[in-house]
Structure 1
Amino acid sequence: MIKSAQTVNPIALTEPVIKRYFETLNHESFLETASLFASEGTLTPPFEKAIVGSEAIANYLQQEAREMTLFPLQEALETTETGHIQAEIKGKVTTPLFTVNIAWVFILNNQKEIISVEVKLLASLEELVKLKR
């Protein structure tokens, strides 16, 4: 974990829609973030069921993503057999209370809309226990 968000240097992301995802979330523009998803796009937060559709995603982000700052630090892209782009982004999320390592797995369709984002905690058990205190 890091002590200050100022020590984090985000990378330049390759895919414009993924770059926009991080920008809009960091500016708390949750409706705009949700608009980046395909009509039946899904957001799967850690330890929760998938949230489906832009309205539900916007509502979820409005409740859960306030005061979060996301820092993408590594990017790995590949094209799937169906021609979709899969991107795994590793980075950090800071809140007023904690900083945690995260991975985001994006699937983009041929129109460069987000089909899905799965958010995975990359924290050790020790780090998770500290978060509960």
Structure 2
Amino acid sequence: MMSDVTLDSTIIEIETVRQYFETFNAGAFEATARLFAVDGVMHAPFRVDVAGRDAIATYLSTEAKGMQAVPQDMTTLTRADGSLESHVTGFAKFAGLKVKIAWIFHLNEAQAIVEVRIKLIASAQELLKMRDAQPQ
């Protein structure tokens, strides 16, 4: 799938996080999953946690097909253990809808994704539209 989103490289300062959005938007979900630590976890909205690269790739191939993620702002802090925590805000486009999203990445010292929490920042009306747009 070709991405219709061009990332602003000045927003995404960490290479792993930039690659996450690039591979995600290209529909290259196996490559997205390889950015995670072997036991990495994705905390997706409305879902049980998805753990491990294979499970993340399968989940994304099923649930994120046709979705585009557009980061607009990023803040990164270093945790006491030397790992990084990056907060990215932006929006996701899916089935003609646009919903505000926050991604919270925890990266280990090798900058592999240990976990990413994906939070919807949307009104109840926007969430209902998104739910109704998903294939059954």
TM over 0.5: yes
Is 20-29 or 9-18 further displaced after alignment? 9-18
Match of 2:97 in 1: 98
CA distance in 1, matches of 2:75, 2:38: 25
Displacement after TM superposition at 1:63 (Å): 0.3
Match of 1:22 in 2: 21
Sort the Cα spacing of 1:111 and 1:121 in 2 relative to 1 into closer, same or farther, 3 A. same
Displacement after TM superposition at 1:128 (Å): 1.9
Match of 2:123 in 1: 124
3-state DSSP of counterpart to 1:12: coil
Letter aligned with residue 67 of structure 1: G
Displacement after TM superposition at 1:71 (Å): 0.3
User: TM-score of the superposition, structure 1-length normalised?
Assistant: 0.89
Displacement after TM superposition at 1:50 (Å): 1.0
Structure-to-structure mapping, 1:68-87, within 5 angstroms: 68-87=67-86
User: TM-score of the superposition, structure 2-length normalised?
Assistant: 0.87
3-state DSSP of counterpart to 1:71: strand
Displacement after TM superposition at 1:9 (Å): 7.4
Match of 1:89 in 2: 88
Displacement after TM superposition at 1:126 (Å): 2.9
Match of 1:36 in 2: 35
Letter aligned with residue 18 of structure 2: K
CA distance in 2, matches of 1:12, 1:90: 10
Letter aligned with residue 37 of structure 2: A
Runs of 4+ in 1 over 6 A off after TM superposition: none
Structure 2 unaligned segments of length 5 or more: list them: none
Match of 1:64 in 2: 63
Q: CA RMSD in A?
A: 1.8
3-state DSSP of counterpart to 2:47: coil
Aligned length: 128
- For 1:68-117, what per-residue CA distance to the aligned partner results, in whole angstroms no more than 9, with x for missing partners? 11100010110111111000100010012311000000000000100000
CA distance in 1, matches of 2:11, 2:111: 18
3-state DSSP of counterpart to 2:96: coil
Letter aligned with residue 111 of structure 2: K
- For 1:8-29, what per-residue CA distance to the aligned partner results, in whole angstroms no more than 9, with x for missing partners? 9745300000000000000000
Displacement after TM superposition at 1:129 (Å): 3.2
